[in-house]
């Protein structure tokens, strides 16, 4: 342990240097994957709730509400199942949020404690594709919707949306918080009007689509247990996929930020807007038989006033730009962390910009390729479901380590040591728990390409093709990690952490409390 105590002193200058230079870049954020010193923790707890409210207050969240009507649920039961599911999933992302102010680190840097300095690359690949995948889905939705409504060229749509979002991601944390605030002011009145139109029945229902010759007419929507579980799972997994984001945007909060209040702010913000948008999506799917959310929003607006449909669509796109920037920003942090795991990288603004350009080119290329293929969102839905399967064991291992094993006590300088760090190059316990949880999920996999089965595990088939793999992964990976971690030398780690706190008090991490 004495050897590692000497090693942490050598890395002190490395992780402190970027912080000293941060103020030299004006409005552009100077940090990337490095530690945020207390002197720069200028964010406020009051901004977290609105930030995560807008994160889900989008047209894309409405598409999660399309799931219920597609599997036989009425708008009412879609709302109930979606609300319960979104609240369950938000619990996980909210607990991740408490790690940000406590440690002052991006989410995936902290994951080196469970998976090792290089072993973390396994989950980095999954999170990178989740971040980029969400943006790819969003871009394809916008290209398809605006092409159908106004005949706009898909390439121009993709560029007009991506370029300002990329600039926002380059400006960084503070500018993104400002943009989320203004986007909320912009979208709240119009989405409120859309919701009021739905509640007051100002938009007439469309008749059911005509049945094909020789086929029975579709059954009226109502309640089915399978449909309820499916909608619950879709909503829960949607917000669980936010888990790798949250600490990235809470690390600028002061270290003494109360964990309970922060968790509550993230939970209320993300779950309220998520439940709201899923309810609207359920109504659009039930009453308008919507399959394209932008087309449906245009119809709702146009039924209220001839030109209001175009206004609703325009505001929807503009208000969504900060969310695209958020995905780019987190994907950038993930990409830099992955490279840094094999070759030490100084986290300068130039590195940030290059990483953002890489992410932007990647997502533009994939989105345009999928749009041109004509396969559309079915490919993307498969893509995101599979990526979620890879992500769930990580969140279980990470939260178990933080709250139940190490209880928030970490040797922060050792996250930046390529060699001789106490967490090792390859974290065997984390990697084994991840593998065990993933293997347990496979019989529960439920992957469809539209109505066509791609793979349904035997247990999922026995339950009527309901996807509960994510729930199995959460519990199995978390329990496996807790049991494997009983052999950790936590006393030795505590001795090293105490030495760090005496010699480098800026890296003090008290036991996690509420």
Nearest CA to 272 among 48, 46, 47, 49? 49
Mean pLDDT, the chain, whole residue set: 85
The angle formed by the CA atoms of residues 57, 63 and 69, to the nearest 5 degrees, is 130
Alpha helices in 172-241 (DSSP H): 173-199, 225-240
Burial of 216 (0-12, 13-18, 19+ CB in 10 A): exposed
Lowest mean pLDDT among 74-78, 144-148, 244-248: 244-248
pLDDT band at residue 372 under the 50/70/90 scheme: confident
List the domains of the chain with CATH numbers: 2-207+222-507 (1.10.4160.10)
List the structure tokens of 131: 């971040």
Per-residue pLDDT for 325 more than 80?
Answer: yes
The predicted structure's pLDDT at residue 398: 94
> In angstroms, rounded to a whole number, what is the distance separating the alpha carbons of residues 93 and 13?
32
List the structure tokens of 484: 């494997």
268-304 as b/e: b if 16+ CB within 10 A: bbbbbbbbbbbbbbbbbbbbbbbebbbbbbbbbbbeb
Lowest mean pLDDT among 143-152, 298-307, 334-343, 430-439: 334-343
pLDDT band at residue 1 under the 50/70/90 scheme: low
Per-residue pLDDT for 287 more than 80?
Answer: yes
List the structure tokens of 268: 């209320």
Q: Please, which residues bridge with residue 453 across strands? A: 448
Neighbours of 439 (CB within 10 A): 12
3-state class percentages of the chain: helix first, strand second, coil last, to nearest 5? 70, 0, 25
Contact (Cβ atoms closer than 8 angstroms) between residue 363 and residue 139: yes
Contact (Cβ atoms closer than 8 angstroms) between residue 410 and residue 462: no
pLDDT digits (tens, 9 = 90+) for 250-279: 888 998 899 899 999 999 999 999 999 999
Nearest CA to 511 among 419, 430, 402? 402
- Round the CA-based radius of gyration of the chain to a whole number and report it: 23
> In angstroms, rounded to a whole number, what is the distance separating the alpha carbons of residues 75 and 223?
10
pLDDT digits (tens, 9 = 90+) for 84-124: 999 999 998 899 988 989 889 888 889 999 999 998 888 88
Lowest mean pLDDT among 24-28, 385-389, 460-464: 24-28
């Amino acid at each position: 342990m004495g050897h590692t105590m000497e090693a942490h002193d050598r890395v002190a200058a490395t992780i402190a240097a970027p912080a000293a230079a941060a103020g030299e870049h004006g409005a552009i954020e100077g940090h990337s994957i490095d530690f945020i010193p207390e002197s720069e923790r200028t964010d406020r707890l009051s901004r977290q709730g609105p930030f995560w409210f807008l994160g889900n207050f989008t047209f894309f969240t409405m598409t999660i509400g399309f799931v219920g009507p597609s599997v036989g649920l009425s708008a009412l039961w879609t709302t109930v199942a979606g609300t319960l599911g979104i609240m369950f999933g938000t619990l996980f992302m909210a607990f991740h949020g408490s790690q940000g102010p406590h440690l002052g680190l991006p989410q995936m840097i902290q994951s080196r404690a469970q998976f090792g300095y290089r072993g973390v690359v396994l989950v980095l690949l999954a999170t990178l594709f989740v971040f980029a995948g969400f943006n790819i889905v969003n871009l394809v939705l916008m290209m398809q919707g605006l092409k159908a409504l106004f005949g706009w060229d898909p390439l121009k749509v993709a560029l007009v949306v991506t370029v300002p979002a990329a600039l926002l991601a380059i400006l960084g944390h503070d500018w993104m918080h400002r943009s989320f605030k203004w986007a909320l002011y912009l979208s709240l009145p119009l989405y409120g009007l859309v919701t009021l139109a739905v509640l007051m029945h100002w938009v007439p229902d469309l008749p059911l689509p005509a049945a094909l010759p020789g086929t029975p007419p579709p059954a009226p929507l109502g309640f089915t247990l399978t449909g309820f579980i499916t909608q619950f799972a879709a909503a829960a997994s949607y917000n669980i996929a936010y888990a790798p984001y949250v600490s990235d945007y809470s690390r600028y909060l002061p270290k003494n930020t109360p964990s309970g209040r922060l968790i509550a702010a993230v939970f209320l913000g993300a779950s309220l807007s998520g439940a709201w948008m899923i309810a609207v999506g359920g109504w659009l799917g039930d009453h308008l038989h919507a399959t394209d959310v932008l087309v449906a929003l245009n119809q709702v607006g146009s039924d209220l006033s001839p030109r209001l449909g175009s206004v609703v669509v325009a505001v929807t796109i503009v208000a969504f730009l900060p969310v695209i920037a958020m995905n780019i920003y987190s994907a950038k942090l993930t990409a830099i962390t992955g490279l840094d795991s094999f070759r030490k990288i100084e986290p300068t603004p130039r590195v940030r910009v290059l990483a953002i350009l890489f992410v932007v080119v990647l997502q533009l290329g994939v989105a345009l390729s999928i749009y041109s293929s004509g396969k559309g969102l079915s490919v993307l839905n498969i893509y995101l479901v599979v990526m979620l399967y890879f992500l769930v064991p990580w969140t279980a291992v990470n939260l178990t380590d933080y709250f139940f094993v190490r209880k928030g006590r970490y040797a922060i300088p050792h996250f930046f040591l390529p060699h001789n760090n106490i967490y090792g190059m390859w974290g065997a316990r984390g990697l084994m728990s991840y593998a065990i949880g993933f293997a347990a999920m496979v019989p529960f996999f439920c992957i469809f390409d539209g109505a066509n089965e791609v793979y349904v595990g035997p247990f999922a088939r026995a339950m009527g093709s309901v996807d509960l793999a994510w729930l199995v992964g959460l519990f199995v990976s978390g329990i496996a990690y807790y049991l494997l971690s009983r052999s950790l030398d936590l006393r030795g780690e505590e001795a090293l952490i105490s030495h760090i706190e005496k010699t480098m008090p800026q890296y003090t991490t008290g036991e996690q409390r509420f």
